[in-house]
Chains A and B, each alone.
Chain A
């Protein structure tokens, strides 16, 4: 990808992030944090790419570790967020 195109995407995405997160009420800040944390595990995509290209043992080992780390981040992050959000209930009275 061309640098300037990538930078444009980066800057626009950051603005989208700011706009969206600013509207999240404090009640949901912990789930927001663990949920967005899980999304940052998207680096798993990069980890799969480097672990699967068969570019030598050292690179593959580092890639394997990256896949493990990122998968824990992704799977654990989404699951624990779901566990928290499941508890948020409005009691009708």
Chain B
């Protein structure tokens, strides 16, 4: 194929990549967008295969078959809850591939001009860090190594020194390429990936994955500079930019800074000072069901605890039940719900929850004052009002879902144990909060069957918004009404 025709094919591929990503911005068109990107990749790869400089096909054919089989199996077998691990793994492979491309190109032609040399060193450095960093992130996410930050003595100075040496080697290689500097740089890049991710706590892994996603794009782009391939430069740059935006979103949602996350040390630690002597109001499925069944609007706040308990499907059953009774049900999604950006949306989509019911934090927060019941399942820190009110709280300033503005808050939780950040949650002790202790799947399951049978209104008068204490009993009702009003009015069982 002539060079012009080849360049034209790459141009078509790039245009399709752009169109494909553009279509990813709406759930209705996203699937076709992804397929468009896949077609673009097919065109780019197909064009490369007929490139005149490709003269032997054994290694390529074998690689495509092996990689294709592994890729198909991984994509089909992975559980949706394990999506962060899979993305981390794919990130690592992408970065590793770029580093290998640079290494192979270096071996093939070790007498490089200055531009390819700079690009080669950048590609092997960024690609190498992405490879080992992603593997460590993968192991941390899957629990193969502990999530808590791991340090070695003098880490700050040591890492800074290693980083400076790496940059020095990259510059040295650019000026006069030699095998020693190249392989030294490669080894250092792999080491840096391990050392930089190990000290980062498991809770910060969403940020790390997003950032490594960006780096894998940058590495591809650098390989493009080395090989003079515009399709690599462009596609890599787009991915680099997208990863950076996602990183920014995650960092803001967690009230951290990127530098703060990369410095490590946060998470996996608890101040252990949480002794809850304060009274909470307990409730049971039987008492709660009428409250839900006769509410006008219910907002469900799912946390990762919901997915851990495999309670998404039964949650949707409850929502269906309530909707069939005319209750408006929506889901409030915090940006860091789940274990990676947008993870909770995928987990709920898997349970057939319609995506138009999933409302982002900024859109739902103003709605809580008009909400009868906020049902918090398996979430903790993202609904902690201390982030809004308590200047001394470690999570102060983190954007939260304002569930405490709802007339009644129901929290389904195993125990009063603090969340990931190890911070007590004042929400649990508020007058309008009801605690339902237990496994999420079991508790929601009980609610489903109780709501089916709920026949008595909890009270004739619905609460005014933000009344502070739910609604009062009007007295003299049936036994079931009494039970409900007891639970809603004055706490009968203080824990």
A40-B220, A58-B107 as given contacts; A78 in contact with B41, CB under 8 Å: yes
A60-B59, A74-B41, A84-B80 as given contacts; A33 in contact with B216, CB under 8 Å: no
Interface hit among B84-92, B156-164, B275-283, B284-292: B84-92
* Cβ-defined partner of A55 (8 Å) among B87, B109, B341: B109
CA distance A70 to B41 in the complex (A): 12
Interchain Cβ contacts within 8 Å, total number: 392
Contact A83 B75 (CB under 8 A): yes
Q: Which residues B207-229 have CB closer than 8 A to chain A?
A: 209-210, 213, 216-217, 219-221, 223-229
> With a CB–CB cut-off of 8 A, which chain B residues contact A59?
104-105, 107-108
Contact A55 B86 (CB under 8 A): no
| B495 contacts chain A at the CB level, 8 A cutoff | no
* Cβ-defined partner of B44 (8 Å) among A14, A22, A45, A82: A45
Q: Mark B231-246, 1 if CB is under 8 A from A, else 0.
A: 1111111111111111
| B67 contacts chain A at the CB level, 8 A cutoff | yes
| B53 contacts chain A at the CB level, 8 A cutoff | yes
CA distance A61 to B100 in the complex (A): 10
Contact A43 B236 (CB under 8 A): yes
A77 to chain B, nearest CB (A): 5
> With a CB–CB cut-off of 8 A, which chain A residues contact B210?
33
Interface hit among B14-22, B166-174, B454-462: B14-22
* Cβ-defined partner of A88 (8 Å) among B27, B53, B67: B27
A45 to chain B, nearest CB (A): 5
* Cβ-defined partner of A42 (8 Å) among B62, B100, B103, B220: B220
* Cβ-defined partner of B100 (8 Å) among A15, A22, A69: A69
Size of the chain A interface, CB-CB below 8 angstroms: 84
Contact B101 A30 (CB under 8 A): no
| B401 contacts chain A at the CB level, 8 A cutoff | no
* Cβ-defined partner of A53 (8 Å) among B45, B90, B108, B246: B108
> With a CB–CB cut-off of 8 A, which chain B residues contact A66?
63, 96-98, 100-101, 104
CA distance A88 to B105 in the complex (A): 42
| B327 contacts chain A at the CB level, 8 A cutoff | no
| B387 contacts chain A at the CB level, 8 A cutoff | no
Interface hit among B255-263, B346-354, B483-491: B346-354
Contact A50 B70 (CB under 8 A): no
> With a CB–CB cut-off of 8 A, which chain B residues contact A77?
71, 75, 90
A39-B37, A44-B45, A84-B80 as given contacts; A70 in contact with B90, CB under 8 Å: no
A44 to chain B, nearest CB (A): 6
CA distance A74 to B296 in the complex (A): 47
Which residue from chain B places its CB closest to the CB of A71 in the assembled complex? B67
For A35, A68, A84, the residue with the greatest tally of chain B CB atoms inside 10 Å of its CB is A68
| B76 contacts chain A at the CB level, 8 A cutoff | yes
| B271 contacts chain A at the CB level, 8 A cutoff | no
Which residue from chain B places its CB closest to the CB of A32 in the assembled complex? B24
Contact B63 A71 (CB under 8 A): yes
16 contacts between A and B (CB under 8 A): A9-B230, A10-B233, A20-B18, A21-B246, A29-B249, A40-B236, A42-B232, A43-B97, A47-B101, A52-B60, A55-B109, A66-B100, A68-B63, A78-B35, A80-B78, A84-B349
Chain B positions within 8 Å of A, measured between CB atoms, are 17-18, 20-22, 24-28, 30-31, 33-35, 37-38, 41, 44-45, 48-49, 51, 53-57, 59-60, 62-64, 66-68, 70-72, 74-76, 78, 80, 83, 86-87, 90-91, 93-94, 96-98, 100-101, 103-105, 107-109, 115, 209-210, 213, 216-217, 219-221, 223-246, 249, 323, 333, 335, 338, 340-343, 345-346, 349-350, 352, 354-356, 358, 360
Since A29-B342, A32-B21 are in contact, a sample of 4 more A-B pairs with Cβ atoms closer than 8 Å, ordered by chain A residue number, is A27-B27, A39-B238, A69-B100, A78-B37
Chain A positions within 8 Å of B, measured between CB atoms, are 1, 3, 6, 9-11, 13-18, 20-56, 58-91, 93
